[in-house]
Amino acid sequence: MEKQSVFINPFVDRGFKILFGQESSKELLIELINDLLEGEHHVEDLSYMDKEDPSETTDGRGVIFDLLCKDRDGTIFIVELQNARQDYFYERALYYLSRICLLYTSPSP
């Protein structure tokens, strides 16, 4: 009987999260991020955060990030996979970033 190989497609949400979104694959994600951001930012370590932020109202929009991470120096960032052109990508990214700012910043006294 021939043994079947199993491949994970990293270009779909589920495959991306399996490959990069688990504690066991943290070093792989760090390497990917550092390769992509070479010369701009360097991540030495990161922790995975809750990827879902439900809407505060019944008619509002919640967000589900592919990955939400925090690096050693406290920088919080979103890792989002896009494998096709997305209408309104910049507007959605701005909305995601706004939600992150609301969640993780507190007003000064």
Q: What is the pLDDT of residues 85-104, one digit of tens each?
A: 888 888 888 888 887 777 77
At residue 106, the pLDDT reads 56
Going by C-alpha positions, the residue among 68, 28, 37 that lies closest to residue 51 is 68
At residue 107, the pLDDT reads 58
Sign of the Cα pseudo-torsion (60, 80, 18, 5, in order): positive
At residue 40, the pLDDT reads 84
Q: Which residues of the chain have pLDDT under 70?
A: 51, 106-109
Going by C-alpha positions, the residue among 92, 90, 91, 96 that lies closest to residue 77 is 96
At residue 68, the pLDDT reads 77
pTM as predicted: 0.66
